[in-house]
A and B are shown apart, each in its own frame.
Chain A
Amino acid sequence: MLAYLARRFVFGAVVLIGTSLITFAVAFLVPADPAVTLAGAKADPRTLATIRRELGLDKPIYIQYGLYLDRALHGDLGRSYIRRENVTALIEERLPATAVLAITAIILSLILGIAMGVIAAASRGRALDHALLFTSLALVSMPVFWLGTMLLIAGGLYVRSFPLGGFSGPRSLVLPALTLALGSAGYYSRILHTNLTEALEQDYVRTARGKGVSRSGVMLHHAMANALLPLVTLAGLDLAGMLSGVVLTETVFNWPGIGRLAYEAVFNLDVPLIMGTVLFSALLIVVANLVVDVIYVWLDPRISLAETR
């Protein structure tokens, strides 16, 4: 187990260095001059030259990359060109809002997805199954910005039960979390439906039925234990994705998270902030992969980490 973790740790480090290299290269390939970003459209060439010198942009690219990597390894992701603030501090400031939204959305999507999947599998072939199939496909297909805006108009403007955007207490969490969760819930329910349908035809399920276990007991204690496993992988990676920022949902709901920070960084061509948010996302994905693998083994001892070599 320890050897496996060490190996994955090294792989993770390679992925992160690769990501930083690609992001740094892309930042240089984009024909945007950081000095223009800093000085604004009206700056004269003398001011631009002074800024380039001050930022070290006149040094060779490999030296600039080396300096960046060295600082990043010490937790310093540089200073934002536009905000003139420490990128690490900006990410730290936005992380709690994104974390609250992402974790709530994942919990909600798992609850809804599992409920829909179980009910659909239990009523296989019946009208309810078809209705849930239609519902889950509709949820997966709905664009997030449209669904978010509709929920905002309905729940915030007309019913006035929820705040019109912003992060201001538990009620403000409902609409954005629902917007994020509904799509994932639709997807989870389809996966679970397929897995449960397969599991219900397995020998061990038949044996359980033969032993007189009730229908719900078979579903929840025997079939579910195996059918749920793939959802762990999906939800783990979804959570990592959401933690690295959900741009559209955060934008629609004025949610002060990392997604909007990244969006604003791209919009302003704020290279240090773009690199910081990308590296942070990559780190989350690497860590999430590792955690999911470990949870998988814990949930199903038949799987050995050694085999995944």
Chain B
Amino acid sequence: MKLATLRLLLCAGAIALAAACHDRPPPLNLPPGAMILHIADADDIPTLDPAAGYDTVSWTFEQAIFDTLLRYGDNNIDLEPDLATSWEAAPDAKTFTFHLRHDARFSNGRSVTSDDLRFGLERVLNPATNSRGMEYYRRIVGAEDFIAHRTSHVAGIETPEPWTIIFHLAEPDPIFPHKLAMPFASAVPREQVEKWGEDFSRHPIGSGAFVLKQWLGGERLVLLRNPYYFQKGLPHLDAIVDSLGASAELQWFRYEAGDLDVVTEIPPAEFPYVMKTPALRDLTLKKTTVTTRYLGMNCQMWPFTDVRVRQAMSYAIDRHKLIALLNGRGIVARGVLPPNLPGYDSAITGYDHDPKKARALLEQAGLAGGFSFDLWMRADQTLLMLGQSVQQDLAEVGIKARLKPVAWGPFLEAIRDPHTAQAFMTGWEADFPDPENFLDALLSRGEWGSNNDSFYYNPEFQRLIDDAKDETDRRARYALYDRAEKIAVDDAPWVFLYYPVTYVIRQPWLRDYEINPMRPSRFERVWVAAH
């Protein structure tokens, strides 16, 4: 009798399961023949709130849903108008005036005005938002008072009329327009934020080309075209369906089955096969990113206090071997600035692999017998593989490196402490295309304990980057940064390892899909041919 009851329960369970599976995921009800882009991501999307997101996946969709005053081209890092039609910068680079287009509308139909841009930035500066973008806008007059809750508005953001916004800065900042092209500075409708509060991320309303239709956590995200988008004839796509949480391997299977239109992360095991197969290789797109990967040495800790030891490290490591380990997905780094960055100087040759020179320099430094040190890095399979290669190269000149892989948080704490990490492997991806974002952000004295983790200081270098920061003439500015970079290369606070090259593979029917060297790809002009 009881066994019969159990059997009955099992049958009821099976029926309940079948019901639960029905209509999963809910249908999209798109018209027949709708042009849909199918993509996938390895993780869920952290957020769609432009004040909160600071990662590639969030920015991919934030820049599809929201607009900023300025944006970058689809495949380059040149600023172009987005919500702005034109802008003027005062000669002292302390005042910036933007004129807005009149036809921009949020996806709820309301016009976008200067107040929406001001509101978006004040959200970022409001400590309660915990925005990662706060520091980029601290130079606006009155920002510190607003952050400290002493004022209800940021005094330096003026909105004299709905189609004009003026920014007053406390210090000159010639690259401020680039900071307004970050998704943090998106136009955000106040009424929606007030309606949804902290759940605005699940109900984002912007003026971008697409609008959020559905976000099933860990499952899929669907964007539909925004009928109010101001660019006539765009976007071409009716919808974007993003499958969330698909590993690189699973994405590859789906690409092979024709279920995905583009894959942005070709699994390392498949990459050589792709490049050896002409039909597949022809479908790949590649771009050198505005990123530098390096091995930083703490210039305040023995033995890296001695420039000869740092130079010996630079000569000892074979960067070509690292590129080979990456299946060719990188370019040997010669200096601080990556090749796509304005201000890059191809005449800087850096250090070639020369173990003999390395040994000679170590001898001059009184370390002919070598030395040992801990090499900190994030616990990541690729980094460990590269770390082992570095370890072997250093061993050839008598230097013993002990690899110390740790989680991201402890890694940052260790390298930001002046007395903990002697050396570390990391990288820096540009936030905006200017030498300041590398030379000042990573090597200035003011960044000790923050992002200057090699605790590098050279008074001449510092003078040059301080002068460059306030220089409003672009050419003169780049010349100052160039001189500073040459000093940094000679001082070798880092072993410049490589500039990563990113590869994606698309289906033959996917058209006008571009890679941007610094931002995620955009979807406005992408279209899918009949197949």
Contact = CB atoms under 8 A, between A and B. Distances in A.
A149 interface: yes
Interface stretch (B167-175, B244-252, B292-300, B461-469): B244-252
Contacts of A86: 199
Contact of B257 (A107, A164, A253, A299): A164
Interface stretch (A3-11, A48-56, A123-131): A48-56
A54 B46 CA distance: 20
A309 B128 CA distance: 51
A152 B409 contact: no
A107 B14 contact: yes
A85 B196 CA distance: 12
24 contacts: A31-B409, A40-B55, A42-B431, A45-B449, A55-B130, A79-B198, A83-B46, A85-B198, A85-B202, A103-B17, A107-B10, A110-B10, A157-B257, A164-B259, A166-B246, A167-B25, A170-B18, A172-B24, A254-B243, A254-B244, A254-B246, A256-B216, A256-B219, A264-B44
A184 B1 CA distance: 26
A165 interface: yes
A269 B253 contact: no
B256 interface: yes
Contacts of A39: 130, 132
Interface string B180-214: 00000000000000000011011000000000000
B408 A41 contact: yes
Contacts of B246: 165-166, 254
B127 A269 contact: no
B217 A157 contact: no
Interface string B384-417: 0000000000000000000000011110110000
Interface of B: 2-3, 10, 13-14, 17-18, 20-25, 43-44, 46-47, 49, 52, 54-55, 127-128, 130, 132, 134-135, 138, 147, 198-199, 201-202, 216-220, 243-247, 249-250, 253-254, 256-257, 259, 407-410, 412-413, 431, 441, 449-451
Contacts of B256: 157
A173 interface: yes
Given A50-B147, A168-B24, A100 B47 contact: no
A255 B245 CA distance: 8
Contacts of A94: 217-218
Interface in A244-268: 251-257, 260-261, 264, 268
B366 to A, nearest CB: 35
A260 B245 contact: yes
B250 A252 contact: yes
B18 A166 contact: no
Nearest to A267: B43
B47 A47 contact: no
A82 interface: yes
A256 B245 contact: yes
A256 B132 contact: no
B256 to A, nearest CB: 7
Contacts of A256: 216-219, 244-245
Nearest 9 interchain pairs by C-beta: A32-B409, A256-B218, A256-B219, A31-B410, A170-B21, A254-B246, A93-B217, A40-B132, A50-B127
Contacts of B22: 169-170
A265 B412 CA distance: 19
B243 A54 contact: no
Contact of A45 (B3, B259, B450): B450
Given A54-B130, A94-B217, A43 B17 contact: no
A44 interface: yes
Nearest to A80: B46
A84 interface: yes
Contact of A38 (B49, B132, B138, B220): B132
B409 A156 contact: no
Given A31-B413, A40-B132, A169-B24, A84 B49 contact: yes
B410 A165 contact: no
B127 A54 contact: yes
A59 interface: no
A37 interface: yes
Contact of B253 (A46, A55, A157, A224): A157
Contact of B46 (A50, A82, A103): A82
Interface in A168-195: 168-170, 172-173
B442 to A, nearest CB: 10
Interface string A106-143: 01001000000000000000000000000000000000
A85 B201 contact: yes
Nearest to A99: B20
A39 B244 CA distance: 23
A160 B257 contact: yes
B244 A96 contact: no
A166 B254 CA distance: 11
A254 B249 CA distance: 11
B242 to A, nearest CB: 12
Nearest to B450: A44
Nearest to A167: B24
A231 to B, nearest CB: 11
Nearest to A42: B451
Given A42-B431, A169-B22, 7 more contacts: A31-B413, A36-B412, A55-B130, A164-B250, A166-B219, A254-B245, A254-B247
A149 B269 CA distance: 15
B402 to A, nearest CB: 19
Contacts of A36: 408-409, 412-413
Contacts of A55: 130
